[in-house]
């Protein structure tokens, strides 16, 4: 890694212009429907400058801040998986014609996406999804194409919400690997770390000066302050075995009484990857599309084997979700499926907090 650089705040538009000039479609935080969500931007004016978010279990609001920073928020309901593993994908199409049916496979056109504003926990989530979709015998070629075409600009968190527990999952709040460029927003500009040769190629023509010791100290202070704000903890010691030896604990019933099986937690989770495939005919039945859509282990139909659901009650579906995420994911992929981003807590309409449930079910409060 080369020495850190400094990008004065007034020159942030130059970085964006450089990405656009290289043909990247830039995806970044924006404000839409009173939330900070990821969307295509054309200008730094589209960023949520001067806004932050307020989060609690089952609660999310955005509000103006007293400063004019661009990235002074935590994470919203979107994650980058919607670009790398889109919610709806067309796999193939069957078309009826005079000569009978013809079949074609479909793949989305390769796009060069630049992700601006990726948090440390989100880098960890991308790494987890890489393992799911790229490792092993079966590679998801669509995911591979999208992932290889993407340019990642991480941004270190300057604030943590009460729902963040990245320090417990060893995934944040500081970005350490997995980025092309990493920014730390200081009072007068961005402390810039280069993480790849692609990052170097993008930043080189901007002729940035080296960061000073003062910039470095300010960045270190910001990292320490953010760590100190992470107040939620999950004791991960032997968590797999603690959970798996408490599968019949009565507390699963108590969480099932509150859980609406609404699927929100799985939709907002940056690592959940379940999907289903269905055939969708056109109204005149001359075209049938095979589509892959996000699905959730909270959906009754998702548990169907031979047409019969095997997890009939909410208790068994919640237990499946939690034990897969925090326990059997280790058996499957050699690591936890949770990066501690807190989205499932914020966006649960009844405020169920998986860290509280784990403590209730198998102890280990930290």
Q: Toward ligand SF4, which CB reaches closer, 161 or 189?
A: 161
CB burial of residue 10 (10 Å; 0-12, 13-18, 19+): exposed
Q: Toward ligand SF4, which CB reaches closer, 352 or 362?
A: 352
Does 106 sit near ligand SF4 (CB under 6 A)?
Answer: no
Does 265 sit near ligand SF4 (CB under 6 A)?
Answer: yes
Q: Toward ligand SF4, which CB reaches closer, 30 or 271?
A: 271
202 vs 15: CA distance, rounded Å? 8
Does 259 sit near ligand SF4 (CB under 6 A)?
Answer: yes
Does 123 sit near ligand SF4 (CB under 6 A)?
Answer: no
Stretch that binds ligand SF4, among 174-182, 198-206, 209-217, 256-264 (CB under 6 A): 256-264
Does 57 sit near ligand SF4 (CB under 6 A)?
Answer: no
CB burial of residue 119 (10 Å; 0-12, 13-18, 19+): buried
167 vs 339: CA distance, rounded Å? 9
- In the bound complex, what is the minimum distance in angstroms from residue 316's beta carbon to ligand SF4? 13
Does 338 sit near ligand SF4 (CB under 6 A)?
Answer: yes
- In the bound complex, what is the minimum distance in angstroms from residue 268's beta carbon to ligand SF4? 6
Integer CA distances (angstroms), 300 to 296, 312, 329, 353, in order? 9, 7, 21, 22
- In the bound complex, what is the minimum distance in angstroms from residue 357's beta carbon to ligand SF4? 9
Answer for which of 112, 200, 261, 275 binds ligand SF4 (CB under 6 A) is 261
Write the CB contacts of 280 (distance below 8 Å, at least 6 apart in sequence): 288, 289, 290, 291
166 within 8 A of 340, measured Cβ to Cβ: yes
- In the bound complex, what is the minimum distance in angstroms from residue 88's beta carbon to ligand SF4? 21
**For the sheet containing 287-294, what is the strand order?**
100-105, 88-97, 287-294, 275-281
- Which residue ranges make up the site for ligand SF4 (CB under 6 A)? 259-265, 268-271, 298, 325, 338-344, 348-350, 352
């Amino acid at each position: 890694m080369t020495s850190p650089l400094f990008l004065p705040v007034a020159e942030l538009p130059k970085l964006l212009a450089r990405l656009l000039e290289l043909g990247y479609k830039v995806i970044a935080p924006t404000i839409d429907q009173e939330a900070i969500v990821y969307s295509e931007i054309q200008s730094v004016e589209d960023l949520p400058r001067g806004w932050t978010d307020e989060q609690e279990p089952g609660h999310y609001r955005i509000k103006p801040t007293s400063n004019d920073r661009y990235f002074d928020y935590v994470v919203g309901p979107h994650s980058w998986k919607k670009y790398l593993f889109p919610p709806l994908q067309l796999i193939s199409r069957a078309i009826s014609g005079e000569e009978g049916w013809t079949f074609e496979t479909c793949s989305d056109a390769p796009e060069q996406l630049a992700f601006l504003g990726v948090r440390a926990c989100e880098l960890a989530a991308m790494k987890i999804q890489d393992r799911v979709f790229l490792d092993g015998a079966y590679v998801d070629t669509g995911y591979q194409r999208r992932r290889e075409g993407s340019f990642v600009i991480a941004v270190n968190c300057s604030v943590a919400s009460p729902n963040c527990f990245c320090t417990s999952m060893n995934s944040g709040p500081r970005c350490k690997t997995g980025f092309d460029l990493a920014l730390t927003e200081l009072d007068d500009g961005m402390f810039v770390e280069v993480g790849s040769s692609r990052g170097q190629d993008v930043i080189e023509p901007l002729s940035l000066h080296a960061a000073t010791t003062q910039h470095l100290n300010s960045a270190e202070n910001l990292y320490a302050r953010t760590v100190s704000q992470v107040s939620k903890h999950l004791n991960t010691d032997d968590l797999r075995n603690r959970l798996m030896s408490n599968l019949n604990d009565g507390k699963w019933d108590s969480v099932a009484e509150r859980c609406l099986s609404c699927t929100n937690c799985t939709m907002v989770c940056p690592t959940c990857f379940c999907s289903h495939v269905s055939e969708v005919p056109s109204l005149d039945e001359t075209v049938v599309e095979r589509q892959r859509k996000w699905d959730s282990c909270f959906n009754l139909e998702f548990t169907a084997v031979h047409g019969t659901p095997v997890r009939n009650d909410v208790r068994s579906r919640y237990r499946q979700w939690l034990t897969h995420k925090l326990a059997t994911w280790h058996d499957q992929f050699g690591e936890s499926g949770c990066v501690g981003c807190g989205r499932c807590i914020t966006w649960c309409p009844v405020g169920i907090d998986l860290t509280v449930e784990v403590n209730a079910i198998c102890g280990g409060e930290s």
